[in-house]
């Protein structure tokens, strides 16, 4: 998959079939659209292209927006790499760009930059200044500028019954199983391992403390989870605590993972952790001994769950 950080830099020698959207999470509903895109491109000897935008439009246009995204840009790229897509165009979303008229948007972005021949788009897609144009307008522009438009019907979308909003809600509720079902893969957290308070080490459960750089990345509900991670080509399983460590009167949220049957120095290493299941809510215990006993129970639950997968 070729990547472009601006539609103007796209190599448009071969005409394209394009779909447009944020594709946050690249969930099973998105995959259905992408499969259709790739299939159409192969059948008609076209390039399959996703046009997406970064930062998220709401972050740019609504300064008070507290939207959290399922995937960071890097994670989105990683998932799209596996779809058979020819090209991903990540166009910078700015206030200036948002003021483009619908006609200028179609002419400059789709026709001139992407050399579009066919657009596959959702029935409710809106575009142009103030999002005042829809799929009917796009089809009219297509008649004038020599491209066709294929609508993904409301029924097609609702048959999948998945949306990024539903996944975000599931994550906020800690329902990781539902979120993973909607995503079609295990929800991931990607970050750098940093120095922590080393409390886990004192309790015989040393942890890797994950720092996530992107402030817009959604973090699941505080609690304890079963996780896995691929580190240096090997898969390790473990348990992760997301929360504030209330037993020791902590206030800052941290993401700490204890890997089973592993001994390595991960400081300053970038790792990706996949969340498999939720064990329990975070709880304030009366003593460190009670906390340690709870962690042993968490480990027992985790190992039983992991064994059920293998």
DSSP-H helix ranges across the chain: 28-43, 57-61, 73-80, 95-98, 102-104, 135-145, 154-160, 164-172, 176-183, 199-202, 288-309
> Looking at the DSSP assignment, which residues form a beta bridge with residue 119?
18, 149
Residues 37-62, mean pLDDT to the nearest whole number? 94
**Confidence check: pLDDT of 156 > 90:** no
**Confidence check: pLDDT of 51 > 80:** yes
- Supply the pLDDT for residue 124: 83
Residues 274-299, mean pLDDT to the nearest whole number? 94
- Supply the pLDDT for residue 201: 67
Residue 62 CB coordination number (10 Å):
11
Could you tell me the pLDDT band of residue 4, with boundaries at 50, 70 and 90?
very high
Which of 44-58, 87-101, 142-156 comes out lowest in average pLDDT? 142-156
- Supply the pLDDT for residue 163: 85
Q: Which residues contact 205 (CB under 8 A, 6 or more apart)?
A: 258, 292, 295, 299
CA distance 118 to 46: 9
- Supply the pLDDT for residue 202: 65
- Supply the pLDDT for residue 158: 62
Nearest to 68 by CA among 145, 160, 135, 164: 164
**Confidence check: pLDDT of 176 > 80:** yes
For 193-251, the pLDDT digits (tens) are: 998 776 666 667 889 999 999 999 999 999 999 999 999 999 999 999 999 988 887 78
Could you tell me the pLDDT band of residue 67, with boundaries at 50, 70 and 90?
confident
- Supply the pLDDT for residue 161: 65
**Confidence check: pLDDT of 125 > 90:** no
CA distance 260 to 301: 13
- Supply the pLDDT for residue 159: 59
Could you tell me the pLDDT band of residue 175, with boundaries at 50, 70 and 90?
very high
Which of 69-73, 76-80, 197-201, 241-245 comes out lowest in average pLDDT? 197-201
For 243-277, the pLDDT digits (tens) are: 998 888 778 899 999 999 988 889 999 999 999 99
**Confidence check: pLDDT of 6 > 90:** yes
- Supply the pLDDT for residue 310: 84
Residues 132-159, mean pLDDT to the nearest whole number? 88
CA atoms within 13 A on the CB side of 22: 20
**Confidence check: pLDDT of 157 > 70:** no
- Supply the pLDDT for residue 64: 77
């Amino acid at each position: 998959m070729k990547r472009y950080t601006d539609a103007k830099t796209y190599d448009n020698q071969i005409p394209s079939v394009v779909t447009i959207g944020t594709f946050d999470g690249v969930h099973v509903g998105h995959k259905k659209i992408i499969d259709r895109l790739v299939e159409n491109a192969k059948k008609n000897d076209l390039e399959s292209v996703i046009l997406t935008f970064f930062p998220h439009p709401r972050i740019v246009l609504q300064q008070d927006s507290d939207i959290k995204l399922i995937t960071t840009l890097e994670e989105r790229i990683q998932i799209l790499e596996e779809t058979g897509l020819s090209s991903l165009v990540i166009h910078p979303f700015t206030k200036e760009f948002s003021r483009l008229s619908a006609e200028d948007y179609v002419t400059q972005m789709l026709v001139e930059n992407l050399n579009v021949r066919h657009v596959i788009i959702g029935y409710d897609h809106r575009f142009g200044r103030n999002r005042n144009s829809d799929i009917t307008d796009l089809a009219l522009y297509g008649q004038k500028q020599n491209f066709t438009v294929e609508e993904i019907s409301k029924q097609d979308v609702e048959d999948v019954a998945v949306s990024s909003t539903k996944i975000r809600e599931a994550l906020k509720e800690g329902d990781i199983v539902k979120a993973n079902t909607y995503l079609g893969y295990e929800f991931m957290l990607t970050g750098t391992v940093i120095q922590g308070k080393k409390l886990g080490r004192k309790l015989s459960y040393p942890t890797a403390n994950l720092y996530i750089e992107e402030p817009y990345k959604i973090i699941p509900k505080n609690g304890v989870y079963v996780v896995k991670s691929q580190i240096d080509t090997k898969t390790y399983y473990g348990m992760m605590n997301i929360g504030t460590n209330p037993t020791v009167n902590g206030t800052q949220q941290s993401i700490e993972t204890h890997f089973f049957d592993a001994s390595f120095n991960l400081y300053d290493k970038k790792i990706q952790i996949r969340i498999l299941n939720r064990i329990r809510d975070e709880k304030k215990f009366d003593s460190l001994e009670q906390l340690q006993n709870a962690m042993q129970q968490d480990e027992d639950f985790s190992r039983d769950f992991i064994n059920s997968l293998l």
